[in-house]
Amino acid sequence: MKILFALPFLFYCHAFAECQIHDDVLFGIATIEGHPKRDLGYPYIISFNKKSDIYKLTEDDRWFSIDSRTIDCLDTDRCLAVYSEIRDLGIKDIDLGAFQINPRFWQYNPEEYFDFEKSKQRACEILTKIKDRHGWSWESIAKYHSKKKENNLAYQKRLKAYWEKSQAEAKVKEAERLALKDKPLKRVVLKLTINEE
């Protein structure tokens, strides 16, 4: 009986174990996958890979379109309701949440797609599986987006551009930090006058 109670706990610990993929890689993917009109990590996004599928949805206050293929469903409950309708309509080729995970290939609890931390963990698991299968390279990281050569190459370019930009920003910050470190501190003497009336 004790073993039966231990197994779910072990599964939970394993399923949400610490990610072995560096945050820079995950945030790079979240940046590229995220919508440019939303902040990094914004989780309430559903993108339709077949643009005409967006017109099959019931138009109501659960969502509004951001562009011709992407909707903002505003919060978890609305996203779950819209996602349920999408499944009922038989629409399969969609990307969900901050990491734009396609549930056709990666099935998880629906709530996890629309929670940043949980979808980050799932993105980590996906990348770990890809890394274990294909090694560690720009091409393998880009398989997160697509295995098709043309799409993979385009995604690699976006990843490299993101990486170069983030490295350049890190160098500037480090140079600023070092410049401040080498400057002697100025002493400032404050003279205060207290008026007691």
pTM score: 0.77
- Provide the pairing of β-strand 94-96 with 45-48: antiparallel
Where do the DSSP E strands lie in 42-178? Answer: 45-48, 64-65, 70-72, 94-96
In the block, which residue shows the tokens 């790079």? 28
Instruction: Convert the pLDDT of each residue in 89-138 to its tens digit.
Output: 999 999 999 999 999 999 999 999 999 999 999 999 999 999 999 999 99
Give me the mean pLDDT over the 171-193 stretch. Answer: 75
What is the C-alpha separation between 16 and 18, in angstroms, rounded? 7
Q: Are 75 and 44 in contact (CB under 8 A)?
A: yes
**Do residues 41 and 100 lie in contact, with contact meaning Cβ atoms separated by under 8 Å?**
no
pLDDT in tens, 139-177: 999 999 999 999 999 999 999 999 999 889 988 888 888
Residue 172 tokens read as 């500037």
